[in-house]
Amino acid sequence: MLGQSGTIGHNPNGLLYPDAALATLKHIADSLQVQFQNQPTATYNAVPQGYYVYIAANGRQSISIKKDIDAGLGYAEIRAKYPHLYVLDSMYATRNTYTNYKKQKIFAISKEDQGSPVSTKIHFQAEKNTNNKSVKSSWLYTYYANADSTTQNIEACYITNPLELMPLKSSYARLVHYSEYFVGDNNVYYNDAKRYDVEFLDEPGVEMTAFLDYANARLGQPDQGRYEGSQEYFMRWSTWQNDKWLQADKLYAADSKFKKLLAEAYNNTPKGTTDSDFEDYIWRYYSKQTALDYKRSRRIFGAPRVSLVPRLHIRDIAVLAAQVANWHVFMCAHLYIIDTDFGYPTTTDERKTGRHTYVKELETLGINTGDLLIGMCLKINEATESHYYGNINDIGKILSEVKDRQNIAARLLFMIQDPELDIHNRIRMCYAFANYNYCIEDGAERARNKGLLNKAIASLPKVLCKGLIDNDDAFYSEN
Average pLDDT over residues 233-257: 90
Instruction: Tell me the one-letter amino acid at 118.
Output: V
Is pLDDT of 349 > 70?
A: no
Average pLDDT score over the chain: 84
Residue 215: pLDDT band with limits 50, 70, 90: very high
Measured CA to CA, the distance from residue 213 to residue 278 in angstroms comes to 11
Sheet strands (E) in 113-229: 119-125, 138-145, 152-159, 194-196
Q: Are 376 and 332 in contact (CB under 8 A)?
A: no
Q: Confidence band (pLDDT; 50, 70, 90) for 140?
A: confident
94-126 confidence digits (pLDDT tens): 877 666 666 666 656 665 544 444 445 666 655
Is the confidence at residue 403, as pLDDT, over 70? Answer: yes
Residue 455: per-residue pLDDT: 95
The rounded distance, in Å, linking the Cα atoms of 31 and 182 is 11
What distance in Å separates the CA atoms of residue 239 and residue 236, rounded to the nearest whole number? 5
Instruction: List the domain boundaries for the chain.
Output: 2-23+186-347, 49-159
Q: Is the pLDDT of residue 346 over 50?
A: no
Across residues 74-103, what is the average pLDDT?
Answer: 82
The pLDDT, as a whole number, for residue 118 is 42
Rounded Cα distance between 388 and 399, Å, is 17
**Which run of H or of E encompasses 281?**
helix 276-285
Task: Over range 411-423, report the average pLDDT.
Answer: 97
Name the most confidently modeled range: 233-237, 241-245, 400-404: 400-404
Residue 318's identity, in one-letter code, is: A
pLDDT tier for residue 351 given thresholds of 50, 70 and 90: very low
- In the predicted model, is pLDDT for residue 352 greater than 50? no
pLDDT of the residue at 343: 46
Can you tell me the mean pLDDT for 218-231?
Answer: 80
Residue 295 has pLDDT above 70, yes or no: yes
d(CA 344, CA 347): 6
The yes-or-no verdict on residue 228 having pLDDT over 70 is: no
**Angle, vertex CA 72, rays to CA 66 and CA 76, nearest 5:** 85
Sign of the dihedral through C-alpha 315, 317, 318, 320: positive
Q: Which residues lie across from 87 on neighbouring strands?
A: 55
Alpha-carbon distance values, 259 to 119, 252, 288 (Å) = 55, 6, 17
Residues 6+ apart with CB under 8 A from 79: 85, 87
So what's the pLDDT on residue 461?
Answer: 87
Mean pLDDT of 363-386: 93
Q: What percent of the chain has pLDDT over 90?
A: 52
pTM of the model: 0.84
Q: What is the structure's pLDDT at 103? A: 67
Which of 44-58, 116-130, 240-254, 273-287 has the least mean pLDDT?
Answer: 116-130
Task: Decide if pLDDT at 468 tops 60.
Answer: yes
Query: Contact, 401 vs 407, CB < 8 A?
Result: no
**pLDDT tens digit sequence for 142-200:** 888 887 878 899 988 888 777 778 999 999 999 999 999 999 877 888 888 877 666 55
Report the amino acid identity of residue 345: P
Find the mean pLDDT for residues 295-305: 78
pLDDT digits over 4-38, tens only? 443 444 688 889 999 999 999 999 999 999 999 99
pLDDT confidence bin for 60, thresholds 50/70/90: confident
Can you tell me the distance from the alpha carbon of 132 to that of 251, in angstroms, rounded to the nearest whole number?
66
